[in-house]
Chain A
Amino acid sequence: MKNMKKTKLKIIPFSTALFFACTTQAYSQIGNTKAPPDSNYFGHSENKAYRSLPDEYKTPEYTASFLQELEHHLSADDCKTELMHHLTAQVDENILPGLIVSLRREQKIDDVLFLSLFKEVNEGPLTTSPDTSEEPQRKKTKEPTKDSCDRYSAIKFARNTYLVSKETPIPSEFASKTIKKSHGLTQQVKLYQDFDGFQILTLAKLYQNFSKRISATSAEVIIHYGTKDSEIYALSMMEQYRMAEKMFHKEIEEMKLKPIFSGKMVTFEDVIMAALETGAVNGDQINTILNVKELWDPKVTFNQKMQSFMLKIGGPAMILVPPPFNQLVALGVIFLQSVAGKQKIKSAEERGISIF
């Protein structure tokens, strides 16, 4: 017993180490030393930039004055060029990334703006000779991406034009929670990193459609028989809700086929985040909405799987096992059913009492 435990423990760190070895190698091959891939911003390069920042720039007074400069230039139309000229004229380009990190650490700027700026100063052509750069590969892969300053203004535009309620969206834990498998990115930053303003609007629209459908006063299915005859089936509220849920799921999946997404993976969480950012949904509704996914992606525990298996074979066993032993089986099934009160239940649709 003891031995088994030990070997198990050994395997885990080894495989993790192997994974890291592979990934770091891959990164260094693509990006050389400068400009790591997007997903790696938060972490290594961020810390490095901050460490390289001289102490006098880390004071709250300095970051406050720096922020004022930023705000002035972000509101200008040709924000990118002007901002960059200004910044590079004032601040040593080597400490600029660190300065931006310090702004975020002091919570002067949000994750979205941070990402835009950090990307800008880290990858953007700060000098006017991009052709001599040692990393032509990166340029190629980044081609379709708009520059981050444009992107940020696109988001601002999206927020201002698409806001459902005039109030600013209530922030939610969901937006600032880091996602697994994404190197510590938060849901919010991931959204802005993966999608541009127009795409975010499209995603938010998916949620809006769902929301509209579930609040519709009635829904019907009309069957045309080709003749003058037709049949109208009025959906119940629950059927209408499940139909809306299924349409929502289907539309998220179909996004992969849309040219504007060019095969990009769209997740349920992306859609919810887009809805949150554009004000189509409020932060205090997020926890409810996250449960919507249960229908097409239910959580099933091992115990539940086991119980449902036992119940499935228990039924026939009651008939097939000769008496008086079948009574024992029946007792077992009754017991299991009473214990399994909280198991994942079959939906009304699966049980044939609902058409959706």
Chain B
Amino acid sequence: MKHYITLVVLCLFLSKPSFAQKEWNVVTRDSRGAAQITTEEIQMNEDRFENSDFKIVVGKSNEAISVNDPRISDETKLKAANTLFHLEHAKKYFTHTVKSLEVAKLEPITIRLEHINQFSDLGHFMNDAKEPQFNNALSIPAGVGMSGANIAPWKREIWFRPEKHIPVAEIMAMQGGNPLNPVIKKVRSAIYPMEMGTGLSNVVYALVNPQGSWSNTLLSSETLQAGTLLLFEAGFQIMRFLNKVLTPSHYFLDTAMIPEIITHEFSHIALSDYLELSHSTPVIEGLADYFSASLNETPKLALKIKQYSTAQGKNGKNKKLFAIEYENNRMANSDFVLSLLWGMREVLGKENADQVIFESRKYLKTNSSDIRTGLINALVIACNTTCKQPANDRLKLFIYFEKRGL
């Protein structure tokens, strides 16, 4: 009898891949949203950071990181555990809460840590000689490879770049000239915790807009043009003063350590049955932000995590008014779409909002859907099939979008 039971247990053990619960330190959030290190259980292979859903590798390698590999630093192992933990959490949310059949059927996803090569849609990795990449994370589409050039086909992957401390003074030295220059604006808003913000740009807008206000009668259009630049610069100088106190001397972003960035990247994968991974638009980034926020139950992304990032996080709680500028791809990292979608939870209830927003991906086009027509249209159509009371909820959504300036 005893032998019989042992045999059955042994059979069960062998029939399943040998994944086991292991305890590892990972980054989580405490009750007030601050980052902390806690010990959590992770479902993984005996001695490798790998399970049926994900495989964590370093750089261009195709081997999952071994727990016992002396060549891999403890820091990288911590990152491997951290990404695996949050990716599992994200996948569970999409399969259990959003009830996505597509995500449940996903192939195992390869996760690359400390990966500095640029992406090539033909060759998978760009040549090592190309400028290495830091302080970033991205999801890449699958590719067919090139048998002649010895490049194997690859599936969807998520890449995490290593962090690199860049002196803020160095970045500032690259600046100058027209403060309206999009590149400079982007760099500035990435560095500074306090963005110059829509506050000032709204004022500028009111001045430049011919029907905006009575101020036109006071000022000629030339004064306005010059004034606009002055205004931006004046505002910026003030913000710079405030930021001097608040900004650290170096800029860096350790993406593999930040829970919301990991789940944001997985959200891209979850949405990729309709929204290709090759593009980054305000709508696509906003959707990934929303699901990252929803599965972490907070609209605050990558905030309160100073040990791993000096970049500006996102806060979906700010109920910003829509501005046409948010349509621009260079504003893909603004948190407007996140806040617009997050606000839908108050309108529809969070479970229903999750469903409607996830469904909306079917009615979006990867590179041509904008916020004010494409996204709104997709959400309204998605509501027709996914809302609890379509007629009433659709009207609620219209009223809500109207209030958000759309």
A interface residue numbers (CB < 8 A to B)? 211, 214-215, 236-238, 241-242, 284-285, 288-289, 291-292, 294-295, 311-312, 314-316, 318-320, 326-327, 330-331, 333-334, 337-338, 341-342, 345-348, 351-354
CB proximity to A under 8 Å, residues B347-406: 372-373, 376-377, 380, 389, 391-392, 394-396, 398-399, 401-406
Stretch at the interface among B63-71, B79-87, B209-217, B244-252: B209-217
A213–B380 CA distance with the chains assembled, in angstroms: 14
Which residue on B lies nearest to A244, using beta carbons? B398
A338–B213 CA distance with the chains assembled, in angstroms: 20
Contact (Cβ within 8 A) A214 B398: yes
A326–B203 CA distance with the chains assembled, in angstroms: 14
Contact (Cβ within 8 A) B215 A331: no
Which residue on A lies nearest to B318, using beta carbons? A341
Contact (Cβ within 8 A) A337 B203: yes
Which residue on A lies nearest to B215, using beta carbons? A316
Residues of B within 8 A of A315 (CB): 203-204, 206-207, 213, 215
Stretch at the interface among B147-155, B176-184, B194-202: B194-202
B3 to chain A, nearest CB (A): 66
B254 to chain A, nearest CB (A): 30
Residues of A within 8 A of B394 (CB): 214-215
Residues of B within 8 A of A215 (CB): 391, 394
A119–B392 CA distance with the chains assembled, in angstroms: 37
A159–B206 CA distance with the chains assembled, in angstroms: 51
Contact (Cβ within 8 A) A288 B399: yes
A209 to chain B, nearest CB (A): 14
User: In this assembly, does B223 line the interface, its C-beta being within 8 Å of a C-beta of chain A?
Assistant: yes
B interface residue numbers (CB < 8 A to A)? 197-200, 202-207, 209, 211, 213-215, 218-219, 223, 227, 230-231, 234-235, 237-238, 318-319, 321-322, 324, 372-373, 376-377, 380, 389, 391-392, 394-396, 398-399, 401-406
Contact (Cβ within 8 A) B200 A330: yes
Q: Pick the contact of A288 from B223, B237, B318, B396 — CB < 8 Å?
A: B396
Contact (Cβ within 8 A) B197 A342: no
Contact (Cβ within 8 A) B406 A292: no
Given contacts A315-B207, A347-B402, 8 further A-B contacts (CB under 8 A): A284-B392, A288-B395, A292-B399, A315-B213, A319-B223, A320-B218, A334-B197, A341-B318
A220 to chain B, nearest CB (A): 13
B326 to chain A, nearest CB (A): 11
Which residue on A lies nearest to B322, using beta carbons? A348
Q: Pick the contact of B376 from A236, A326, A331, A345 — CB < 8 Å?
A: A236
Contact (Cβ within 8 A) B399 A334: no
Contact (Cβ within 8 A) B402 A214: no
Contact (Cβ within 8 A) B402 A295: yes
* With A238-B402, A316-B219 as contacts: A337 and B373 at CB distance below 8 Å: no
A211–B405 CA distance with the chains assembled, in angstroms: 22
Contact (Cβ within 8 A) A348 B206: no
Contact (Cβ within 8 A) B392 A330: no
22 contacts between A and B (CB under 8 A): A214-B394, A214-B398, A215-B394, A238-B406, A284-B389, A288-B392, A311-B203, A312-B214, A315-B207, A315-B213, A316-B218, A319-B219, A319-B227, A319-B231, A330-B235, A331-B238, A334-B197, A337-B197, A338-B197, A348-B372, A352-B209, A353-B324
